[in-house]
Amino acid sequence: MPDIVPYEKPPPTPPHQEQQQQMDTPFEGPEKKLSLHFIPKCNREEARSLRSLSRECIDHILSAAACSILSFSRNEHIDAYVLSESSLFIKDRSFTIKTCGTTTLLNALPTILHYANTLYLTPLSLSFSRVAYRFPDAQPFPHDCFENEVRSIDDALQSTRCGFDKRVHCWNDWYMYDARFDESGERNEETEGGTDCADTTLEMFMFDVDETQMSHYDFTAREHLVGSDESHKVTKESGIKHFLYDCDVIDAFNFAPCGYSMNALSKQTYMTMHITPEVEASYVSFEISGEVHNVAVVVAKVTRLFKPGRMTVVLVGGIALQHEQMGMVPKMFEREYVHDVSAGEWCTGGAKICVSSFSRERGAAYGIGKRFGAIEVGEGVGSFEVGEIAGADEGCESLMIVDLKAVERGFEEVQERFGKGVDIRYEVRTNRAEGIVALLDCMGSRFEAEGEEDLEALERAGVEKERIVLAGAVGERGLVERVECVAVFEDGALLQTAVECGACVEIRVVDGVVSGIWGLLKRIVAAGGRVRGVGFEGGVEMELQRKVVQMVLDSGCRLCEEFVVVVVGKGAAGRGAEEVEREVGQWGGYGGGRVKGGVVVGAEMVRKAVWMRVQVVGRKARWDGGMAYYVSDGVYGGATCAIMGGERVGAVCGGCGGGGGGGRGRGDAVKRSVVYGPTCDALDVVWSGEMEIVQVGEWLVLEGVGVQSGGACEFNGFGGSRAVRYVVCG
């Protein structure tokens, strides 16, 4: 094997970023991207990995492109470099580099090919792509126009004396040069054509980005954040961390005076993001290459965070399902964006390319999911055909839609009162129609799985683990609003899976039955889980309550930051929040205000729990100073009440009927009642029958089944009654 030595004939040093600054133009954010895949020459044993290239060789390649290394990270499969202008990723048989500004990326191509040859590697495929430059006049040769870029690549490849076929793609503002070489070497599993999920690349190019989001990446007055040491703070505070839930390596860099770059690795998949926050030329690029589980979900998440004025989305490779998901994207954005163009074509290697461009309608407010069919924001209640959503069951009829703006101000009031103890979130139980699951996931919904079948359905739909809440046989919804993932278990059968999904555990004691709790606590400890709270329902004596709480403390379980105790049923019948608070307060915050795990457990947590969710049995609802609580005498077992909103909450009935109405009798007992406080004149809703709540952008979707005894659900203020016959939650 010959020694690896620098290329003997380096190209002349091109102009660097100073050239663009001298031309008095903002920084050129859009990147040029060059990706090459190699296979060993005929003698596989002599071939070496591209990752064996020395730092000197890599620096030499980058100097030709007019950029340099700022930081380095790696995992078992990928070496990743954050560059002064974007990123470099090296695998055993692939080399991908993208550079922004006025770099001269294609000048590095001959050098890359030279070093690959010394490793006994021969090229299998090459692609060069970019979006249109904002400031093309600032670009040096050969990047001053796409025609010159094509000629430059042709010249470099012809010097290899390898035969190749090429295609040139020009769609709207996106350009691609795609070449496939004669297979004179040996193929391997990694370099097989782009036909499976592992070969998928999704890229998003976003312009005119939301100024509030861009402020996270301006370090003019925060010079202490510049560099890589403090970059993790920006990654978290900006919301980017939410995309990186499955990444074991995250490497980011904050630029002076502004700008941000990030590489993240997960097995053989990489993600990279580059941000130019200058107001007059704001730009964000996002790329994920490798396993992309749900294209529509990824696009929706990124768009929801950055709210661009216009964007281009490109999918290269992938399986048929992913291109179907890509086809959902225009439908998701139809309210906020004009879908300018969508095109599909095949690369030389057989991988499909799909390109879609979007631009914001003038004056359109941002928010995915504001419209389904003909329903407009502010119209209150309407319906749409489920069949309009890809993947919906043909036999389904309709859903009810309520404008979420109607309760938003009520949430703000509650959050102001209780701080971060209350989170504006809703949950939905599993829907086995994967198209609808994917859509709800795009819109930020959370999912509750009651068993392995539900869990598998959600995983097939590409829902992230952190968005799944597991519930056991006892815990239909739980006593506490799940600000974190909270799971309720009777027998602990799904405990290990729940802990792996990031769930906390809430323990429920019903009618004084405590057998098996100690064993459950031991399983929680063994699984490394955390306990969020204890709920007591029915006739649980005070002494038994104290014993159960003490069992939790003595078990060695870790507690969540907010550990909540709720007393309901006969223990709270006829009394309000103050009495429950006093009752729990007699415990002295569990042992005289003792601090465990840095958290004082006591009456204050109960106050929050009473607002967030109190489950009891019965008929009587009261409203007191912004805190909702729901107590009864235990006649109508099984009702759950979540009250959200302002001061004018209508009465909650124990059976069917409208606000202010009474129950119709034992046969019409409510299984789950939800009252939305009337923070606008049109919203004073009482729901009878079984239902779920789903957040879809700025819409609230109320889903349920036909009301018991043939009654109709009454929506006071909406001028009519309508029963919903389709249950998204399966």
Catalytic residues: 28, 31, 86, 100, 261, 274
Residue 578 tokens, joined? 């103050």
Closest CA to 590 of 571, 569, 605: 605
Sequential DSSP letters for 602-621: SHHHHHHHHHH-EE-SSSEE
Phi and psi angles of residue 513, each rounded to the nearest 5 degrees, phi first: -85, 110
> Which H or E run includes 581?
helix 577-585
Residues 6+ apart with CB under 8 A from 274: 29, 31, 86, 87, 98, 100, 260, 261, 262, 284, 285
CA–CA gap between residue 424 and residue 408 (Å, rounded):
9
Sequential DSSP letters for 294-345: -HHHHHHHHHHHH--SEEEEEEES--HHHHHHHHHHHHHTTTTEEEEEEEEE
CA–CA gap between residue 403 and residue 380 (Å, rounded):
6
- Return the number of other C-beta atoms located less than 10 Å from residue 550's C-beta: 13
Answer whether 699's CB lies under 8 Å from 400's CB: no
Q: Taking the mean position of all CA atoms in its chain, how far away is CA 373? A: 25
How many CA atoms, within 13 angstroms, populate the side-chain half-sphere of residue 392?
A: 18
Sequential DSSP letters for 74-100: E-SS-EEEEETTEEEEE-SSEEEEEE-
CA–CA gap between residue 269 and residue 259 (Å, rounded):
24
Report the b/e string of 685-721 with b at 16+ CB within 10 A: bbbbbbbbbbbbbbbbbbbbeebbeebbbbbbbbeee
Residue 319 tokens, joined? 């399986």
Residues 6+ apart with CB under 8 A from 259: 27, 217, 275, 276, 277
Answer whether 133's CB lies under 8 Å from 101's CB: no
CA–CA gap between residue 129 and residue 106 (Å, rounded):
11
CA–CA gap between residue 48 and residue 52 (Å, rounded):
7
Answer whether 283's CB lies under 8 Å from 275's CB: yes
Closest CA to 691 of 714, 711, 671: 671
How many CA atoms, within 13 angstroms, populate the side-chain half-sphere of residue 708?
A: 19
CA–CA gap between residue 292 and residue 462 (Å, rounded):
9
CA–CA gap between residue 307 and residue 324 (Å, rounded):
23
Q: Which residue has the tokens 């500004």?
A: 101
Sort 662 into a burial class: Cβ within 10 Å, 0-12 / 13-18 / 19+: exposed
Residue 128 tokens, joined? 């060069």
- Between helix 542-554 and helix 517-527 the angle, nearest 10°, is 30
- Return the number of other C-beta atoms located less than 10 Å from residue 184's C-beta: 13
Q: How big is the CA angle at 103 (ends 163 and 161), to the nearest 5 degrees? A: 15
- Cα-based distances in Å from 359 to 26, 326, 338, 400, 630: 22, 17, 5, 30, 48
Judged by DSSP in three states, 556 sits in coil
Residues 6+ apart with CB under 8 A from 335: 364, 367, 368, 369, 370, 371
